Amino acid sequence: MKKPIKETMKAGLRKKLSFLFSRKITVIILLFIQVAFVTFAFFSLYEQFIYIYLGLIILAIILVSYIASSNENSGYKIAWLVPFVIFPGFMALVYLFVKTQVSRHFFKKTVQRKFYETEKYLTQNKEIYSSILNNEDKSFARMSHYIASCGKFPTYKNTTAQYFRNGEEQFEVLLEELKKAKHFIFIEYFIVELGVMWDQIIEILLDKVDEGVDVRVMYDGVGAQTILPGKFDETLKYYGIKCKVFNPFVPFLTTVQNNRDHRKIVVIDGHTAFTGGTNLADEYINKKVKFGYWKDSAVMLKGDAVWSFTMMFFQLWELNEKESANYLDYAPHKYHNESFGGEGYVIPYSDSPLDDETVGKMIYLDIINKAKDYVYFTAPYLILDSEITTALMYAAKSGVDVRIVVPGISDKWYVQKISNCYYKELLEQGVKFYRFKPGFVHTKDCVSDDKIATVGTVNLDYRSLYLHFEDGAVFYKNNIVADVKKDITDMIENDCKQITIEDMNNRNIFDKIFGGILKIFGPLL
């Protein structure tokens, strides 16, 4: 079987890549036609029917009042209200279209129902929480309680953790762990791309299928839209790999497309899991150079905490399934009877954009607000909301050493323009920024006071905090805390240039003006 799949994956599928460009153009044309039609219809009505226009103006005034008084984030309010001032009637139609889509409400209910069904499998061990409350810092107990009660993910002990400073380190260990699988492999990524990395993984997965291992792969419909050939999922299914495309991209105007699966999860036999910033593509292990050296990070967990990652996977995998799996068949000790050991506490968590909880954001705010000595971040994308901006400023002004490592080479030029505006504002309040000179920093790490750290997929931007499905893990008094701190401090000391207020003031006038305009619409980008 391995020879046909090699021929298919390396020859047949790559041959289809020649058609990717035309497929991409077709999607763009379809979207453009829809936007052009709506715009033409509106302005035709505007020119011919003054009463319709006046009606839309009244509707716009009502909607502006509604937006201003809503509980939405202030950044989103501004991003909506500014276009309303320029095109009130047209924006009234756009806003109603975005907010009243049946497909989005159906999708939201489906996700919430599945998450609710799995809650009973994610209950907090009372002995562990009692130990935290009585023996540890009360502030961590409050975070643990919040994530368990609102985020629906418990705190664990009996879990070992290993930190990887780059994608290359993680990849080597990932291959070895995949080879050890005896019962099941679950893989969920935002991006999967053909290349060196995927070639080695797929060979192992096919061997495991031959051995009777349950292999499942899920990737995001938008993340793979321009880099995978059509019906890639069907090819994997043909060779015995169960495969799903999460929220497949369709060339029709719908806000459902905003809610992407940005998570990165691997679960092996219920007792081993990986997460972090790396996707399954060659730039993440620097086999392909796109934006200089690609700096990433990841963690491997072994133990009880893996259970939460297993349930995260099922929560999205089973969205369109009629029956649920017998989840206990995938528990950590099903195929591992011994204790795992480990130090401190681990809280794996997932964040859904379709509930009322911004778990990733609240974890970041909790760490910033409770920092006493220092708080360090790595941030590939910096488009902050007012709450995180205020928290960072207050921490710095109150004497906390606040440092943020950002890319030296950005993969999105417009994000860099917006981020520059935040740099200046925060620098003036004492926050320190460092550019990673060798290339692009894709890590989403945070560490504070030698006690607590997070590693995962949550960026410091609106998309991660509000629109995407994300995941990560909080580590308290665990060896990962020291590893994350050393990684960030090593970058700052050896590979970074500190950004100064003078650097921001010396930007050309175009960057300042254009960046300021883009900042207004940052929540929508």
Strand 452-456 relative to strand 470-476, pairing = antiparallel
Co-location of 72 and 201 in the same domain: no
Q: Which residues of 193-225 are buried (b: 16+ CB within 10 A; e: fewer)?
A: bbbebbeebbbbbbbbbeeebbbbbbbbbbbbb
State the pLDDT at residue 101: 67
Co-location of 331 and 367 in the same domain: no
pLDDT at residue 358 greater than cutoff 90: yes
Q: Is residue 483 part of a domain?
A: yes
Phi-psi category of 286—alpha, beta or left, where left has phi over 0 and alpha has psi -120 to 50?
Answer: left
Strand 345-351 relative to strand 470-476, pairing = antiparallel
CB 215 within 8 A of CB 205: yes
- pLDDT per position as a tens digit, 268-323: 999 999 999 999 999 999 999 989 999 999 999 999 999 999 999 999 999 988 89
Co-location of 155 and 304 in the same domain: yes
Strand pairing partners for 280? 192
Co-location of 273 and 136 in the same domain: yes
State the pLDDT at residue 459: 96
Co-location of 253 and 317 in the same domain: yes
Co-location of 317 and 377 in the same domain: no
Query: For the domain that residue 227 is a member of, what is the CATH number?
Result: 3.30.870.10
Q: Is 10 helix (H, G, I), strand (E, B) or coil?
A: helix
Co-location of 265 and 375 in the same domain: no
Domains identified in the chain, total number: 3
Co-location of 400 and 445 in the same domain: yes
Q: Is residue 435 part of a domain?
A: yes
pLDDT at residue 81 greater than cutoff 90: no
Q: Is residue 270 part of a domain?
A: yes
Across the chain, what does the average pLDDT equal?
A: 87
State the pLDDT at residue 412: 84
Residues 6+ apart with CB under 8 A from 511: 417, 420
Give the sign of the dihedral formed by CA 377, CA 382, CA 388, CA 389.
positive
Residue 160's domain spans which residues? 126-347
Q: Is residue 308 part of a domain?
A: yes
